[in-house]
Chain A
Amino acid sequence: DAGVTQSPTHLIKTRGQQVTLRCSPISGHKSVSWYQQVLGQGPQFIFQYYEKEERGRGNFPDRFSARQFPNYSSELNVNALLLGDSALYLCASSLDPGRGAYEQYFGPGTRLTVT
């Protein structure tokens, strides 16, 4: 079975621009979460979606937004890019965030560089 897929793999943007990152979860998984991983640090939680509804939001500015589609894929949008937004953006999928231990399976990430 295919794992979590993310696109694009790499992206270079200029300050002030907008970017959209895409994620497809593992088949059968209905929850998608987004994380930001700055070089040398652990991932930081941005959003969680389940059944197209936002279930959680981390401590990120309103420039960050996301949505989940009926097929459970998801997009993360970042507006007015800053240099500090340069990071590896990770998408993780899970079965049902409401039951059992919360095991998440990560995609390979999208490396965003803001110049």
Chain B
Amino acid sequence: TQLLEQSPQFLSIQEGENLTVYCNSSSVFSSLQWYRQEPGEGPVLLVTVVTGGEVKKLKRLTFQFGDARKDSSLHITAAQTGDTGLYLCAGEGTGRRALTFGSGTRLQVQP
């Protein structure tokens, strides 16, 4: 069974601060995706990383896939209140094409 552990579970910061969310596993993933979910809505895809060591940037968000494709991080620079939400990482396992999700990091950005 492939598991993804996310940390921290909860994060409350002030607007303008930087933060990093981690997603770790003992398993290798073919690809890893990050989603953001608002209350009562479905997850929205932010980015997909495929190659070990890959770094992708989406405005103030920087995503990195570990060299061994077992872990990933999401870094937000100068957080804004609009960044508030649940951030989920999800790994595509080898063999079966289903996503394994982490339990999420709930981010609250205070004005």
Interface residues of A, Cβ cutoff 8 Å to B: 4, 33, 35, 40-45, 48, 55-56, 58, 88, 90, 92, 97-98, 101-109, 111
Contact = CB atoms under 8 A, between A and B. Distances in A.
Contacts of B103: 40-42
A4 B42 contact: yes
A8 to B, nearest CB: 14
A67 B99 CA distance: 19
B104 A111 contact: no
B41 A105 contact: no
Nearest to A59: B1
Contacts of A45: 98-100
Given A42-B88, A111-B40, A104 B100 contact: no
Contacts of A4: 42
A109 B37 CA distance: 11
B31 A101 contact: yes
Contacts of B90: 42-43
B43 A56 contact: no
B42 A48 contact: no
A41 B41 CA distance: 14
Contacts of A55: 97
Looking at A58, A97, A106, which has the most chain B CB atoms within 10 Å of its CB? Answer: A106
A22 to B, nearest CB: 15
Given A42-B88, A101-B48, A108 B42 contact: yes
A20 B96 CA distance: 25
Among A58, A102, A103, A106, chain B packs the most CB atoms within 10 A around the CB of: A102
B84 to A, nearest CB: 17
14 contacts: A35-B99, A42-B90, A44-B101, A45-B99, A45-B100, A48-B97, A56-B97, A92-B42, A97-B97, A101-B92, A104-B45, A104-B99, A106-B44, A111-B40
